Structures are given as structure tokens and as C-alpha cells.
């Protein structure tokens, strides 16, 4: 708990048996709620999560990364989280920002950390394009290391977003559109064989989706378009609602506070 705020860490997982335990062991003691959502893995992810004491939820089939994120956030809110995710939690708990991103670019060591050259170039191009369209000044939009206040997760029309990797990018575009305060901290870059990473084909699909989202943002801003992901009346998460596509928690897990 930080400044009286309950901190939740969520793990959107798919075939994560090789990395899950090491990741969980690195969590600081200040974390109150630990939640894993398994996107219908074929390995021992759920078994390991159970052994580690995580609150675990299992999708009835593989829905994709975006849907997994939706479930993570819904269950974190239902568990009473005030801040969802990790090391950046104090910046949210003390009201400095609503959203904090861990940037691999700020530290200037993304390439040394193993980021492939083509991914680095694509990251820089897409970020420049997005900053231009969104009128923002983020160092990158494509990090998976991020923290949100519960207000952000309740207010954004997250159910209008993609069920695939584009979900993360759409969330940040929504945060800019709706005026949430966003900050960044430097984080290390680590690429290794066991780490999950999307292949080239899906990366191209993601990149095209990022370009489209940015253009939609600009069109809506200047009054030439209306898009569901930027609709204040769009579908939001409803904590505690039975979504019908994943099972109840397998274990009560460990929670503090």
C-alpha cells in the first residue's frame, strides 16, 4: 500500500511458465493484490500461478492480448485496487499522474538491452507519427510496462478497443484524448528467448493499426470523424460483472492491506 492506496499488479499471461515465477519473485512487498489472467495457455502457467498464490482467472479460449488486459483490469478493480501495476505506483498514489509508462527509450539503452534494430526503427517512426497526430510528447507508446489509476480504468471506453496487441496503443490514445495526466520513467530493456514477443507479421499488423488509430484521433479532434474508441459514452469495464468468457478465480491468492 502506498499513501493509503491499494496497489495491484496484473499479469496478462499466455504460455508464460518459463518466466512467471522469476517475475513474481521480483515484486516488492508494497503490492497488495496479485492477479493473473490466463488466455487459455497450453502449458503449466495456471499451475505455477496457483503455487505462487496468485489470484488466477482462466479464459475459456484464446481471445488475444487486448481481451486479456480487459479481464486483468476488471478483476483488479473488483478486488478494490486504487493503482494498477508496479514500480511507478507511488507517482499515481500521490496524485502526480493518472498514467505512468516505463519507457525503454528514455534511458538510451534500448539497443544495448537487445531490442532488434528493425523494432527500434519502427518504434521511433511510430512514436514520431503518434506525437504529431496526438499533440503529445511521449518518448514511446509501445512499452508494456505501465501503471494506471483506477479512475482511468473505470472511465475509458476500454471495451471498444481491439482484442489484440493494438489494445495497448488505443488505451494511450484514449488517455490523451480524454485529458489524463501522463508521465514516464526509464526502465531497462531485456530481450531473451523465453520472453514473449510478437513476430514480424503481427508487428506489421500492429504498426498499421497504430497509424490508423493516430489518424482517427486527429480526425476526431478536428471534427471530421467520430470513432467508438474515442466516444465518452462508449462501453466501459464493469468490475465484478460476469463477462461469461472466463472462469472464477482458482485461488484466493495473497492480498494485503
The pLDDT-based confidence of 157 (bands split at 50, 70, 90) is: very high
Top-ranked range on mean pLDDT: pick from 2-6, 62-66, 152-156: 152-156
Residues 100, 7 contacting (CB under 8 angstroms): no
State residue 235's pLDDT score: 95
Q: Is residue 27's pLDDT more than 90?
A: no
Residue 87 Cα distances to 21, 77, 131, 148, 159, angstroms:
18, 18, 25, 12, 26
How far is CA 211 from each of CA 67, 68, 216, 229, rounded to the nearest angstrom? 21, 23, 9, 15
- The sign of the dihedral angle between the CA atoms of 232, 236, 80, 24 is negative
Domain 1-88 sits in CATH at: 3.40.50.1100
Of the listed ranges 1-15, 62-76, 112-126, 147-161, the one predicted with least confidence:
112-126
CA distance 245 to 4: 33
Among 9-13, 71-75, 132-136, the least confident range: 9-13
Per-residue pLDDT for 250 more than 60?
A: no
Residue matched to cell numbers 505506483? 89
Query: How many whole angstroms separate alpha carbon 142 and alpha carbon 159?
Result: 20
* Angle, CA 17 vertex, CA 15 and CA 22 arms, to 5°: 130
Question: Mean pLDDT highest for which of 141-150, 158-167, 238-247?
Answer: 158-167
- The residues spanned by each domain of the chain are 1-88, 97-234
The single-letter DSSP state of residue 160 is G
Contact present, 176 and 216 (Cβ < 8 Å):
no
Q: Angle CA(229)–CA(99)–CA(240) in degrees, nearest 5?
A: 65
Residue 253 is predicted with a pLDDT of 46
Burial of 215 (0-12, 13-18, 19+ CB in 10 A): middle
Query: Per-residue pLDDT tens for 38-83?
Result: 999 999 999 999 999 999 999 999 998 889 989 999 999 999 999 9
Q: Which of the four pLDDT bands, split at 50, 70 and 90, describes residue 28? A: confident
Rg (CA), the chain: 18
* Strand, coil or helix: 133: helix
Q: Among 28-37, 73-82, 148-157, 158-167, which stretch is predicted with the lowest mean pLDDT?
A: 28-37
Backbone phi, then psi, for 81, in 5-degree steps?
Answer: -70, 140
**Separation CA 150–CA 99 (nearest Å):** 10
- pLDDT at site 251: 53
Q: What is the pLDDT of residues 77-132, one digit of tens each?
A: 999 999 997 656 666 766 888 999 988 888 777 777 677 788 889 999 999 999 99
CA distances from 37 to 24, 96, 242 (A): 14, 29, 15
Segment 213-236 shows an average pLDDT of: 96
pLDDT at residue 177 greater than cutoff 90: yes
Note the pLDDT of residue 46.
92
What pTM was estimated for this model as a whole?
0.75
- pLDDT for position 49: 92
Arithmetic mean of pLDDT, 5-29: 87
Sheet holding 182-186, edge to edge: 55-58, 33-38, 7-13, 83-84, 146-149, 99-103, 182-186
Task: Tell me the pLDDT of the chain averaged across its residues.
Answer: 87
Question: Rounded distance, CA 11 to CA 75, Å?
Answer: 11
Looking at per-residue pLDDT, the higher value among 252 and 29 belongs to 29
Amino acid at each position: 500500500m502506498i499513501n493509503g492506496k491499494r496497489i495491484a499488479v496484473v499479469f496478462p499471461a499466455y504460455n508464460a511458465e518459463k518466466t512467471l515465477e522469476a517475475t513474481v519473485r521480483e515484486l516488492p512487498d508494497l503490492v497488495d493484490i496479485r492477479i493473473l489472467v490466463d488466455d487459455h495457455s497450453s502449458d503449466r502457467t495456471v499451475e505455477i500461478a496457483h503455487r505462487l498464490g496468485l489470484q488466477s482467472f482462466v479464459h475459456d479460449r484464446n481471445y488475444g492480448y487486448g481481451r486479456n488486459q480487459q479481464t486483468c483490469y476488471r478483476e483488479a478493480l473488483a478486488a478494490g485496487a486504487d493503482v494498477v501495476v508496479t514500480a511507478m505506483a507511488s507517482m499515481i498514489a500521490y496524485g502526480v499522474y493518472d498514467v505512468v509508462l516505463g519507457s525503454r527509450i528514455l534511458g538510451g539503452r534500448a539497443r544495448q538491452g537487445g531490442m532488434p534494430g528493425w523494432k527500434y526503427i519502427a518504434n521511433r517512426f511510430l512514436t514520431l507519427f503518434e506525437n504529431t497526430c496526438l499533440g503529445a510528447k511521449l518518448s514511446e507508446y509501445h512499452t508494456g510496462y505501465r501503471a494506471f489509476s483506477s479512475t482511468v480504468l473505470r472511465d475509458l471506453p476500454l471495451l471498444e478497443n481491439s482484442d489484440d496487441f493494438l489494445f495497448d496503443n488505443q488505451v494511450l490514445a484514449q488517455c490523451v484524448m480524454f485529458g489524463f495526466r501522463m508521465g514516464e520513467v526509464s526502465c531497462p530493456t531485456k530481450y531473451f528467448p523465453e520472453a514473449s514477443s510478437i513476430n514480424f507479421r503481427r508487428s506489421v499488423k500492429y504498426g498499421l493499426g497504430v497509424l490508423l488509430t493516430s489518424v482517427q484521433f486527429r480526425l476526431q479532434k478536428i471534427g471530421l470523424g467520430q470513432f467508438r474508441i474515442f466516444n465518452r459514452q462508449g462501453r466501459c469495464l464493469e468490475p465484478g460483472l460476469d463477462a461469461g468468457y472466463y472462469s472464477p478465480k482458482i485461488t484466493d491468492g495473497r492480498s494485503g492491506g
